[in-house]
């Protein structure tokens, strides 16, 4: 077979400054708020169950009452799980860029932030049980807020803060139980109300800690990585699959996106796997301090998002990589399982990442994704490479 010369990718008609496409974020926002309202109402299932078990079942010594309460609680928890799953799916499919609402829904702690407006509901129930319990919960929640507000830059410091918050959660419930036990001994509340209050107190921590993250000044955007993302005469040797018969050479600057296209089985995934393993001949831009060298979403998701399937899981994984600190990104057939709206969101992410100075290499068959890239490299059957015309 005649050896072909290494080729360099060429610039396509895609504009480097093309504005990202935006999506309407109002339906996801309204749907996520409605789901959050249902979730927080159903979260009262546990406290109400504890209250009735201690105050009615034990008092009446009735097995039938216990079975009826347990059945109702089981239905409530089942509905709660479904509502949580619905909210996660809404958040995973929400636009990643755009208005303040879209940015809110794309935050990692968006679910906890959506629970924040419902804190008064739990405080009102605690106050109805006894005002002292509500006051104790406010003090404990304020402490969690203050601790979460302080976030060191180093990983060790963040780990210590997380451990401190976990201990505060456990100690806080113990404090509530202790105060409730004293009130029960005084005859101010029942034993069931004591344990219901302990469960209610636990609902306050996560939303308050998420709210604390909003008060932390956003970190300064890291500068684009210095240098080029390049491959010099890559044959992809060392993989389990046969090496490419014709070496590949390319060079990408900050803000470039290279689309790798070709027939199925021609070697696109082989090239991206080789790049992800930082094989010989590859050169990555020097990342800023604390940045990983690259982000990678393989064609076969190793650990898909729990409870997600198909396009939802893939889009969730892609959004995580784009939201992370890596500025060199590899995507292997990212359009798999995505519908037209998912492709739109992916193109928006690509345009936004390019504008921020990230460098991308994308193996794809999707014309819209190819059009969102600045360069194209075509691989033909039997690993014969040529530049796109």
**CA-atom Rg of the chain in angstroms:** 27
The contacts of residue 177 (CB under 8 Å, 6+ apart) are: 194, 195, 198
The CATH architecture to which 27-215 belongs is Up-down Bundle (1.20)
Report pLDDT for 183. 92
Backbone phi, then psi, for 230, in 5-degree steps? -140, 160
Least confident window among 21-35, 117-131, 333-347: 21-35
In the predicted model, is pLDDT for residue 96 greater than 70? Answer: no
| pLDDT tens by residue, 120-129 | 999 999 999 9
Task: Could you please state the CATH topology (level 3) that the domain comprising 229-301+308-379 is classified under.
Answer: Rossmann fold (3.40.50)
pLDDT value, residue 153: 55
Nearest partner of 56 among 193, 232, 261, judged by Cα? 193
Domain ranges of the chain: 27-215, 229-301+308-379
For residue range 185-196, list pLDDT tens digits in order: 999 998 889 889
The arithmetic mean of pLDDT across residues 331-348, rounded, is: 87
H/E element, 361? strand 359-363
How many of the other CB atoms lie within 10 Å of CB of 85? 14
User: Higher model confidence: residue 146 or residue 388?
Assistant: 146
Q: pTM, whole model, 2 decimals? A: 0.53
**Band of residue 387 on the pLDDT scale cut at 50, 70, 90:** very low
- Alpha helix locations (H) across 93-188? 100-105, 110-115, 119-129, 131-149, 155-185
Of 294, 284, 282, give the one whose Cα is nearest residue 353: 294
- For the beta carbon of residue 264, count every other beta carbon within 10 angstroms: 9
What's residue 284's pLDDT? Answer: 66
Q: Percentages helix, strand, coil for the chain, rounded to the nearest 5?
A: 55, 10, 35
Interacting residues of 15 by C-beta distance below 8 A, sequence separation 6+: none
pLDDT digits (tens, 9 = 90+) for 226-272: 456 666 656 555 556 666 656 677 788 888 888 888 777 777 787 88
């Amino acid at each position: 077979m005649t050896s072909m010369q290494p080729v360099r990718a060429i610039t396509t008609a895609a504009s480097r400054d093309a504005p990202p496409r935006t999506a309407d974020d109002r339906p996801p926002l309204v749907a996520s708020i409605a789901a959050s309202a249902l979730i927080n109402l159903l979260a009262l299932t546990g406290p109400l169950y504890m209250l009735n078990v201690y105050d009615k079942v034990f008092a009446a010594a009735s097995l039938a009452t216990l079975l009826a309460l347990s059945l109702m609680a089981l239905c409530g928890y089942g509905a709660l799980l479904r509502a949580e799953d619905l909210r996660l799916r809404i958040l995973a499919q929400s636009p990643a860029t755009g208005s303040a609402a879209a940015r809110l829904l794309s935050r990692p702690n968006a679910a906890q932030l959506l629970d924040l407006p419902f804190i008064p509901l739990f405080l009102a129930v605690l106050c109805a049980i006894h005002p002292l319990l509500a006051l104790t919960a406010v003090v404990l929640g304020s402490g969690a807020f203050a601790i979460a507000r302080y976030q060191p830059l180093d990983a060790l410091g963040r780990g210590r803060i997380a451990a401190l918050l976990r201990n505060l959660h456990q100690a806080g419930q113990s404090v509530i139980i202790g105060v409730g036990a004293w009130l029960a001994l005084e005859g101010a509340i029942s034993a069931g109300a004591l344990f219901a209050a302990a469960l209610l107190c636990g609902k306050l921590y996560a939303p308050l800690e998420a709210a604390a993250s909003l008060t932390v000044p956003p970190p300064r955007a890291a500068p684009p990585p210095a240098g080029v993302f390049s491959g010099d005469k890559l044959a992809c040797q060392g993989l389990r699959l046969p090496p490419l018969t014709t070496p590949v050479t390319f060079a990408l600057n900050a803000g470039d996106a290279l689309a790798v296209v070709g027939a199925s089985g021609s070697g696109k995934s082989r090239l991206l796997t080789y790049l992800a393993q930082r094989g010989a001949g590859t050169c990555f831009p020097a990342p800023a301090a604390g940045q990983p060298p690259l982000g990678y979403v393989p064609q076969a998701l190793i650990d898909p998002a729990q409870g997600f399937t198909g396009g939802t899981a893939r889009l969730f994984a892609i959004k995580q990589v784009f939201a992370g600190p890596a500025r060199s990104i590899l995507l292997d057939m990212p359009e798999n399982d995505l519908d037209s709206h998912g492709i739109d969101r992916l193109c928006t992410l690509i345009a936004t990442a390019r504008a921020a100075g990230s460098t991308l290499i994308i193996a794809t068959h999707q014309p819209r994704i190819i059009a969102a890239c600045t360069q194209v490299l075509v691989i033909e059957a039997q690993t014969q490479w040529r530049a796109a015309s």
